[in-house]
């Protein structure tokens, strides 16, 4: 069996243009990122996921790509990418990049030639002479997107775009397009990449419905996986796929399709639990989590680069989460999500933020952390749509948060400079040397997660703690047992555990706001407000 490194990895996601500016133009770049790898290494993450850094008109944060084989000139060039890749390798850090092949920018040469009817590219996109009757249905961005089909005057036909009209969908059913996708994957693997976060997977598969090749659309996932494995056996595919759990088999296959899938439904239940201060939604969801292949994995997260998508919650549940974490219209987006940072939603309460991190890291799967959340960075709601949570990294208390030498208004996106989340109060420089800071707490939590492979390798048993506010999970793998407890409420909770000890030893991995009393084979644990505990449960020692 090949190296399943991702089972116990901790992934750090960042936007290169918002991380560190090395040349004073107000835009982050690869040289600046390479110079700041010590922060990621010190935090304890072992994998870096880069948002799109390819040439782009940047109408959608780089997801509207014009060249898959190069680097946006604002961020550097391929030489700078290779230097960064080598610097990451020297620190033992793996690199994942975004594979955005559901669509391209309409400025991409492929689309320009397709609209002109070029014989090679004419069928590289999805065209229709007539506007389909359902063109106004299925829009992804309500309020800012009116249709999924747009008329092109040069071709005198409509092109399909599941997303914005400046992002035309590639015709994945075309074998030539699929060959090009493999070429893109091979190119970045050759430059040191260890995996891909695949964008908009359900919509890629949707475009394959009419391929006529005799395979189900999901068979294409196996095709990509085979190619990936041939080129680099240990490389992985992490899917952005907000799927119901009954589709898990379709995406993971029989260990021959995707390696990881983001568990969006779990994330939504997690925020519902945080809003209610009641762990029941998470516990019930985990009890029903389907079995997946041993080598497959869910990816867990608190925040990502997009909105917190609440679309799979019931209407009344969604209203609860909005009321708790996004009560103002300016905090909501697309009628389904919240465009705020974690720390801002949790009121800046570091106890609650730390508990949320601890809980996420203890959920079954591979954790993914959004840059800046380890510091408790806030959001800038004056920025449009999803940009509110993509502000520059806050390195110091100095001008522009140490991200750039230019003034804040000249940065790629205006940083958070005012209020309790401004860079004068929240920055890496101060937190790195403070053992009580949020950074230091998250650092210890990540260290604990990486020392507990039980979480990545085994399923979670949901414990009946007798207190709705407390989520109790137990893991067992290769003779090792682990128990985690999290109090989602602002009131102390006492929990009794009697069926896991069996006369063995109890070793704390980490704890916050908790007291433990041992009585025979039972434990009484007193969790303070937002308290949490990780315990190794050793079997009794046999005396000969």
Q: Which residues are marked as active site?
A: 199, 240
Backbone angles phi, psi at 178, to 5 degrees: -65, -35
Q: How many CB atoms lie within 10 A of CB 351?
A: 17
For residue 137, give every residue at least 6 positions away whose Cβ sits within 8 Å of its Cβ, in sequence order, or none. Answer: 148
CA distance 169 to 84: 31
Classify strands 236-239 and 195-198 as parallel, antiparallel or unpaired.
Answer: parallel
For residue 251, give every residue at least 6 positions away whose Cβ sits within 8 Å of its Cβ, in sequence order, or none. Answer: 201, 218, 221, 239, 241, 243, 257, 258, 261
CA distances from 477 to 252, 368, 457, 509 (A): 22, 22, 7, 16
DSSP string, 92-123: T-EEEEEE--SEEETTSHHHHHHHTT-TTTTT
User: Per the structure block, which two tokens stand in for 242?
Assistant: 């907000």
End-to-end CA distance of the chain: 37
Helices 350-362 and 264-276 sit at what angle, rounded to 10 degrees? Answer: 140
- Residue labelled with tokens 């594979």: 99
Cβ neighbourhood burial of 110 (10 Å; 0-12, 13-18, 19+):
buried
User: Per the structure block, which two tokens stand in for 272?
Assistant: 């519902």
Sign of CA dihedral 344, 350, 352, 354: positive
For residue 453, give every residue at least 6 positions away whose Cβ sits within 8 Å of its Cβ, in sequence order, or none. Answer: 7, 8, 477, 480
Classify strands 366-370 and 470-477 as parallel, antiparallel or unpaired.
Answer: unpaired
Backbone angles phi, psi at 187, to 5 degrees: -60, -50
CA distance 301 to 321: 17
User: Per the structure block, which two tokens stand in for 59?
Assistant: 């109408």
Residue 69, phi-psi category: left (phi > 0), alpha (psi -120 to 50), beta (remainder): alpha
Q: How many CB atoms lie within 10 A of CB 271?
A: 28
Which segments of 258-398 are extended strands (E)? 260-262, 297-301, 308-309, 332-333, 337-338, 366-370
């Amino acid at each position: 069996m090949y190296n399943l490194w991702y089972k116990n990895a901790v992934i750090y996601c960042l936007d290169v243009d918002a991380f560190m500016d090395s040349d004073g133009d107000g835009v982050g770049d690869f040289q600046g990122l390479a110079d700041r790898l010590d922060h990621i290494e010190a935090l304890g993450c072992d994998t870096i996921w880069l948002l799109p850094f390819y040439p782009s008109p940047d109408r959608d944060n780089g997801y509207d790509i014009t060249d898959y084989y190069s680097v946006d000139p604002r961020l550097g060039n391929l030489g700078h990418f290779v230097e960064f890749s080598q610097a990451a390798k020297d620190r033992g850090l793996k690199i994942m990049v975004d594979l955005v092949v559901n669509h391209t920018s309409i400025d991409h040469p492929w689309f320009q030639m397709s609209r002109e009817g070029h014989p090679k590219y004419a069928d590289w996109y999805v065209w229709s002479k007539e506007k389909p009757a359902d063109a106004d249905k299925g829009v992804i961005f309500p309020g800012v997107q009116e249709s999924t089909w747009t008329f092109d005057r040069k071709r005198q036909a409509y092109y399909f775009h599941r997303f914005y009209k400046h992002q035309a969908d590639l015709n994945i059913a075309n074998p030539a397009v699929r060959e090009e996708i493999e070429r893109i994957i091979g190119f970045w693997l050759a430059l040191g990449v260890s995996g891909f976060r695949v964008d908009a997977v359900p919509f890629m598969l949707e475009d394959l419905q009419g391929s006529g090749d005799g395979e189900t659309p999901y068979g294409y996932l196996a095709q990509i996986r085979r190619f990936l494995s041939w080129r680099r056996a240990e490389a992985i595919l992490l899917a952005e796929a907000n799927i119901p759990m009954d589709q898990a088999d379709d995406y993971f296959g029989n260990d021959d399709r995707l390696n990881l899938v983001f568990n969006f439904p779990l994330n939504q239940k997690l925020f519902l639990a945080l809003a209610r201060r009641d762990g029941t939604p998470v516990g019930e969801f985990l009890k029903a989590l389907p079995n997946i292949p041993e080598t497959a994995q869910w990816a867990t997260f608190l925040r990502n680069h997009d909105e917190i998508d609440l679309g799979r919650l019931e209407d009344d549940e969604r209203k609860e989460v909005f009321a708790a974490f996004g009560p103002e219209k300016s905090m909501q987006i697309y009628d389904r999500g919240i465009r705020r940072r974690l720390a801002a939603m949790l009121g800046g309460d570091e106890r609650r933020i730390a508990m949320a991190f601890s809980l996420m890291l203890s959920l079954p799967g591979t954790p993914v952390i959004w840059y800046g959340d380890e510091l408790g960075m806030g959001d800038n709601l004056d920025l449009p749509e999803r940009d509110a949570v993509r502000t520059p990294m806050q390195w110091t208390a100095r001008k522009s948060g140490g991200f750039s030498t230019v003034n804040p208004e000249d940065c790629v996106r205006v940083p958070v400079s005012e209020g309790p989340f401004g860079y004068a109060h929240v920055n890496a420089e101060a937190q790195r040397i403070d053992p009580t800071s949020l950074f230091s707490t998250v650092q210890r939590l990540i260290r604990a997660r990486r020392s507990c492979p039980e979480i990545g390798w085994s399923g979670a048993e949901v414990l009946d703690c007798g207190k709705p506010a407390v989520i109790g999970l137990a893991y067992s793998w290769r003779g090792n047992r682990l128990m985690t407890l999290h109090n989602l409420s602002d009131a102390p909770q006492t929990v009794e555990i009697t069926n896991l000890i069996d006369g063995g030893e109890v070793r704390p991995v980490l704890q916050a706001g908790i007291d433990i009393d041992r009585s025979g084979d039972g434990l009484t644990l007193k969790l303070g407000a937002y308290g949490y505990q990780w315990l190794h449960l050793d079997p009794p020692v046999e005396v000969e």
